[in-house]
Structure 1
Amino acid sequence: MLLTTLTTAFFLSRGRITRSEWLTRVVIAAFVCAAFGSLTGSWFGETGTALFAIVFLWSAGALSTQRLHDIGRSGWSLLTAIVPVFGPIWVLIQMLRRGVDHENRFGPDSATRSDYLKVNIAE
């Protein structure tokens, strides 16, 4: 159960996430991959380090795709990052934009909370 949740949260590019979720998950992935990359690097050399670098790149790409879904863009928009200078700046600006307030083709609004207690004050 926990493994399925972690896989969905960090490695699959389906769904939408908010700006704060995106930033939190990227930082967590960076720290975990850096720690394990350093550990496996001391055991297996550059191969161990490279393995966790690839894991981080995959995770960061999936998380960024989820973030782009929140603003209504496809994950293919990440390819603009290969354009020198302006590409990474444009992608960062897109990541920091506010998501759309309604359901889009990628799923329901990730910022809405359905678990709050709703009180009808008209009665």
Structure 2
Amino acid sequence: MLLTTVVPAFFLSRGRITRSEWLTRIVIAALVCTAFGSLAGSWFGETGTSLFAIVFLWSASALSAQRLHDTSRNGWSLLAAVIPVFGPIWVLIHLLHRGVDHANRFGPDPAIRSDYLKVNIAE
């Protein structure tokens, strides 16, 4: 059960996430990969550390693509980060930009809370 919810949330670039979800998941991925990378580094050397660095890069890319989906941009926009100086700045600005307030081609608005409070005044 846990694997079927965690794996898509951290490693697949489907759907949309809010800014706070993106930042929280990036921090969690960084902490987990740092801890396990350090442990793997003590057991297997640089190969173990490199493996968890690759896992973090994959996770960060998938999470960032989900975040860009919330701003109606494709995940391929992350490739702009390879442009020196301006590319990473452009990507960061769009990652921190507020998402669209309606459903788009990537899914419904993740910031809408439909179950927040329902009051039936007819009763």
Same fold (TM > 0.5) = yes
Q: Which residue of 1 aligns with 2:24?
A: 24
Q: Which residue of 2 aligns with 1:36?
A: 36
Query: Which residues in structure 2 correspond to 1:31-70 (within 5 Å)?
Result: 31-70=31-70
Distance 1:122 1:72 in 2: 39
Distance 2:120 2:81 in 1: 48
Distance 1:79 1:122 in 2: 53
Q: CA deviation at 1:39?
A: 0.3
Count residues in correspondence. 123
TM-score, normalized by length of structure 1?
0.96
Distance 1:114 1:52 in 2: 38
Q: CA deviation at 1:116?
A: 1.7
Distance 2:117 2:86 in 1: 45
1:107 paired with 2:107, answer yes
CA-to-aligned-CA distance 1:76-110 (integer Å, 9 cap, x gap): 00000000000000000000000000000000001
Distance 2:114 2:50 in 1: 41
Q: Which residue of 2 aligns with 1:84?
A: 84
- Alignment identity in percent? 82
Q: Which residue of 2 aligns with 1:74?
A: 74
Q: Which residue of 1 aligns with 2:117?
A: 117
- Aligned CA-pair RMSD: 1.1
CA-to-aligned-CA distance 1:42-100 (integer Å, 9 cap, x gap): 00000000000000000000000000000000000000000000000000000000000
1:47 partner letter: T
Query: Structure 2 stretches of 5 or more lacking a match?
Result: none
Structure 1 stretches of 4+ moved >6 Å: none
1:115 partner letter: D
Q: CA deviation at 1:8?
A: 1.1
The 3-state SS of whatever aligns with 1:20 is: helix
